[in-house]
Amino acid sequence: MTEAPPQKKIWSLEECLEYARTRNLTVLNAHLDKSSAEVNYRQSELERLPNLSANASESFTNGYSIDPITSAYVNEQIFATSANLNSEIVVFNGFQLNNEIKKSKLLVDQNSFFVQEAENNISLNITNAYLQALYYREEIYVTENTLDNSEIALDIATARFEAGAIAKKDYSDALSQAASDRYLLIEARNNYNSQILILKQLLELGPETNFSIEEPDTNYNGVTIIDNKLNIYERALESLPEIKAGELNIAINEKELDIAQGGYLPSLSLSGNLGTGYTSVQDIGFYDQLNLNFNPRVSLSLNVPIFSRGQNRAQEQNARIDIEKARINLKSTEKEVYEKVETAWRNAIAAQNQIIAAEAARDAASDSYQLAQKQYEVGSINTMDLLVSKNSYSNAEQNYIQAKYLSILYSQLLQFYQGNKIKI
């Protein structure tokens, strides 16, 4: 039974990541695939052992027939009982058995990397969703503050309009701006709630679970990127499980080639049988007959492949093709990793520069807007001038928040590609 999620209200990113590793359905499915590979590996090892089976039969024959126990021709009713114990072991089969075991072990190792890859993917998805939720929550704070200022401006405009100090257009502009900001606040809250839903689904949390995320660090100033992208790429090749899984895929297909080549070699098997029986034809007691008819048998069977209608050759050729495909897939994976690393590195550098510029623009826009508010309060500027200043400040604030979380996201991606733990 799956353990119930903790009934708490505040979740950190680290708690989300840890919880998802043991609850996310994609990760759980990867674990099941690994368990299945382990079962197949254990079963392949048992193929070295002899099998053992037992059977018993009871028959009735009437008329001229062969006695199943004595093999004599008789013309009478026959009641016969037979019992057998059979065993067989493969002595040699072109090393196919050993190579099957090695291949099964490689598949277990490969599925371990698939589990790590699933955990990494869900960690990246949760990190992205978590930071997006933080962005939307800060957007709510900004929009709430903007709405407060718009309502203050509307109160001033209303008083002036009623006193006949301003035209109806100035009053309508203030009224329209306040309504627009209320709409934006509703939209920001809806965006945040939608992102929280995405996070809950990634964590496999039900609708009854209380869920919220920690407050962001409002003093964040960005991360300095000093690593060369080639160094990051080399570390990614050493640490990412999809690369190691691709390398094992080549080894697995090489074992398939060894197995196919083993089909050209002869196979040798050893079998044994213990049998006994009773027949009504013999005038001897049941237990005496079982002892009398007891017959052990041992046989050695050699099978030499001469012509398999091209089957062995086709299997060998397909195995060689699969090896080349595995090598190409590994190269493609390495190419994809490099593209991800370079994209994250370039975006991190850009965000690093953007946050500095966005912070300066926000501070300047804030000072300008504060001045415009004071001027509007004393009637030095009209409503439109105030709204232009306010919108410039709002846009600058949004640009800063976006640059801030993009900087966090891409810096964490670079840490992830180097095998480091994600944390904010």
- Kindly report the CATH class assigned to 49-92+268-304: mainly beta
pLDDT digits (tens, 9 = 90+) for 202-259: 999 988 888 999 876 656 655 566 668 899 999 999 999 999 999 999 999 999 999 9
Distance CA 181, CA 377 (A): 20
Which pLDDT band, with edges at 50, 70 and 90, does 66 fall under? Answer: confident
Domain residue ranges of the chain, discontinuous segments joined by +: 10-48+93-265+305-417, 49-92+268-304
φ, ψ of residue 281 to 5 degrees: the values are -70, -40
pLDDT at residue 421, as a whole number = 85
Measure the CA–CA gap between 332 and 336, rounded to whole angstroms: 6
What gap in Å lies between CA 156 and CA 165, rounded to an integer? 11
* Residue partners of 251: CB distance under 8 A and separation at least 6: 106
53 phi, psi to nearest 5 deg:
-140, 150
The alpha carbon of residue 63 and the mean position of all alpha carbons in its chain are separated, in whole angstroms, by: 69
Q: Which pLDDT score is estimated for 221?
A: 57
Residue range 263-281, pLDDT digits in tens? 999 999 999 999 999 988 8
Domain 10-48+93-265+305-417 CATH superfamily: Outer membrane efflux proteins (OEP) (1.20.1600.10)
How does strand 73-75 pair with strand 295-303? unpaired
pLDDT of res. 223: 58
- Predicted confidence at residue 218, as pLDDT, reads 52
Q: What is the distance between the alpha carbons of residues 171 and 376, in angstroms, rounded to a whole number?
A: 13
Give the sign of the dihedral formed by CA 205, CA 211, CA 217, CA 222.
positive
